[in-house]
Amino acid sequence: PHLRTFTDTFQTCKIQGAWPLIDNNYLNVQVTNTPVHPGSTATATSKITIIFKNFQECVDQKVYQAEMDELPAAFVDGSKNGGDKSGANSLKIIEKVSGQHIEIQAKYIGTTIVVRQVGRYLTFAVRMPEEVVNAVEDKENQGLYLCLQGCPQNQQIDFRTFHSQTPETGSRRHGTGSNGSSFTPQMAGAKCKEKLPVEDLYFQSCVFDLLTTGDVNFTLAAYYAFEDVKVLHSNKDKLHLYERTTFGSGTAAPQS
Amino acid sequence: CKILKCNSEFWSTTSNSHHHTGAEDSVEFCTALRTYAHCTRRTARYCRGDLAYHSAVHGIDDLMSQHNCSKDGPTSQPRVRTPPPWDSQERSDSPEICHYEKNFHRHSATPNYTHCGLFGD
């Protein structure tokens, strides 16, 4: 999947299996990514688990879980708010589009989370105060979590390697199915431009996804990811990103 | 930091009771202490380093120990208060601590927000 971190770095990662996105005193978010085709290194998010930790007289511990083809508008206990405490309504789930789009408002920590199902896979976006992001008991021993530290170097995918190949070798390299070779870079670019007219990293991600999977739903995933950034990001001058985060060995990634 | 509010609520509650001699009074006193402790915890975020706050926290521990009060147990019912104007759209019983932005604004400048997103393949 493509990751935009709290510090506006942008990466494309393998991160197959379960990975933590956020882990602080108030909130824990974990995602599970599965190969888009059997044996493929390209993965997409198939499960998201969000744990809101018990907080004073505001909320009980609440767990939200979304999986492929199951995007509930309630916590796993069936409730839609923070429980029985006096401030319970400072945490609530709002269904935007049934089975496709939910928003979780956690007012007690100034946080908004958006989860969508686009095509078969899930997308995640969060707006969170810096104070909450940095609220960890033991900062020295804080474990890895992707929204803050980004993906480990060995999990990052180099766009340059991918783009330097022909579509056919590209699809073989990524192990995609027959759909993977149905788009040429030109066709993918044209398709993505319909939804993402600015050739930023969202556009590039869209092209990458079409070339690796041939699944046009990923065009919408990139489109909605950008729509979410527009709503959730506090700096409207930083919505579009053009420079990919530097790569593992320290070499700079190509600009758009 | 609103520790003085906690202090005054505690003294207001206990000054109305008797001299804490009987078992019933002791139960009431422990309940008031737990409520006081609860109130100090609510202020903890903004009272760090405040002498009155730290005194209160230590004082509560001492009093709980002296009166053999359990830390777990009933607390006093929250008092009905007139909601401030900014609470007019919210539940009247929703504590201020449950509104991050309103809390934050009273103690600092506008909070800085960050964003994180994950999508695609």
Q: Which of B94, B99, B111 sits opposite A129 (nearest CB)?
A: B111
Alpha carbon of residue B59 to chain centroid: 15
Closest CA–CA distance from residue A6 to any residue of chain B (Å): 5
Q: Which of A240, A25, A30, A126 is nearest to B114 (CA)?
A: A126
Q: Is the pLDDT of residue A252 over 60?
A: no
Hey, are the CB atoms on A56 and B99 less than 8 Å from each other? no
Q: Is the pLDDT of residue A53 over 90?
A: yes
Q: Tell me: the pLDDT tens digits for B7-35? A: 888 887 787 655 445 666 788 888 889 88
Question: E strands along chain B, which residues?
Answer: 113-119
Classify residue A83 by burial, with Cβ atoms within 10 Å: 0-12, 13-18, 19+: middle
Q: Which of A107, A102, A149, A151 is nearest to A128 (CA)?
A: A107
* pLDDT for the residue numbered B48: 76
- For residues A90-110, average pLDDT: 97
* pLDDT for the residue numbered B21: 53
Residues whose CB falls within 8 Å of the CB of residue A256, separated by 6 or more in sequence, listed in order: A199, A200, A201, A204, A242, A243
Q: What is the DSSP string of A109-128?
A: GTEEEEEEEETTEEEEEEEE
Q: List residues of chain B with CB under 8 Å from any CB of chain A.
A: 38, 41-42, 78, 90-91, 93-95, 97-101, 104, 111-121
Q: Tell me: the pLDDT tens digits for A137-158? A: 776 666 789 999 999 999 998 7
Closest CA–CA distance from residue B69 to any residue of chain A (Å): 21
Q: Is the pLDDT of residue A176 over 80?
A: no
Provide the 10 A C-beta neighbour count for residue A20. 16
Least reliable range by pLDDT among A23-27, A173-177, B23-27: A173-177
Q: Is the pLDDT of residue A194 over 50?
A: yes
Least reliable range by pLDDT among A7-16, A134-143, A177-186, B34-43: A177-186
pLDDT bucket at B106, cuts 50 / 70 / 90: low
Q: Which of A57, A118, A128 sits opposite B95 (nearest CB)?
A: A57
Provide the 10 A C-beta neighbour count for residue B66. 10
Residues whose CB falls within 8 Å of the CB of residue A30, separated by 6 or more in sequence, listed in order: A18, A19, A20, A21, A48, A49
User: B60-65 long-range CB contacts below 8 Å, 24 or more apart?
Assistant: B60/B33, B60/B36, B63/B33, B64/B30, B64/B33, B64/B37
Hey, are the CB atoms on A108 and B38 less than 8 Å from each other? no
pLDDT bucket at A228, cuts 50 / 70 / 90: very high
* pLDDT for the residue numbered A174: 41
Q: Tell me: the pLDDT tens digits for B37-90? A: 888 888 887 787 777 888 888 889 888 888 889 888 877 754 433 333 333 344
DSSP class of A210: H
* pLDDT for the residue numbered A97: 97
Contacts of B116 in chain A (CB under 8 A): 3-6, 21-22, 124-126, 128, 147
